[in-house]
Amino acid sequence: QVQLQESGPGLVKPSGTLSLTCAVSGGSISTSNWWTWVRQPPGKGLEWIGEIYHSGSTNYNPSLKSRVAISVDKFTNQFSLKLTSVAAADTAMYYCARDQRVVGQDAFDIWGQGTMVTVSS
């Protein structure tokens, strides 16, 4: 079955760029699903960051849009997140997830285990 695995640096300096990759295994990234990033600051709730389709179409959280870029690599079956100008408030567990698209019944049905990113000098 499809599995997702996040990877990337666990520590990023303030004002730097956070870069994470999500590897999709057990299935193709080029399906009718969208692929999503979600984050969760320590002790807080979930926040949707954005999503991408295998064609490269994206949607971003309006509150993060100026700093976020999500890309897809169909050849390596991966998608990636870049978040620029990071600050302490960006410290969080970052999850990638599959967004199944069944007419009117969208849902994040498969999640990676998450990767903790700390913003600190």
Partner 1 sequence: SSELTQDPAVSVALGQTVRITCQGDSLRSHYASWYQQKPGQAPILVIYGKNNRPSGIPDRFSGSSSGNTASLTITGAQAEDEADYYCNSRDSSGDHRVFATGTKVTVL
Q: Is 10 in the site for partner 1 (CB under 8 A)?
A: no
Answer yes or no: are the C-beta atoms of 47 and 61 closer than 8 Å: yes
Torsion of CA 27, 29, 30, 35, to 10 degrees: 130
For partner 1, which residue of 33, 60, 70, 72 counts as binding (CB under 8 A)?
Answer: 60
Comparison of 17 and 101: residue with beta carbon closer to partner 1: 101
Comparison of 16 and 47: residue with beta carbon closer to partner 1: 47
Q: Is 116 in the site for partner 1 (CB under 8 A)?
A: no
Comparison of 60 and 79: residue with beta carbon closer to partner 1: 60
Q: What is the rounded distance in angstroms from the CA atom of residue 11 to the CA atom of residue 22?
A: 17
Partnered with residue 68 across adjacent β-strands are: 83
The three-state (H, E, C) secondary structure of 59-93, written as one string = EECCCCCCCEEEEEECCCCEEEEEECCCCHHHCEE
Which range binds partner 1 by CB under 8 A, 15-23, 66-74, 75-83, 104-112? 104-112
Each residue 17-56 as x (binds partner 1 by CB under 8 A) or -, in order, gives: -------------------x-x------xxxx--x-----
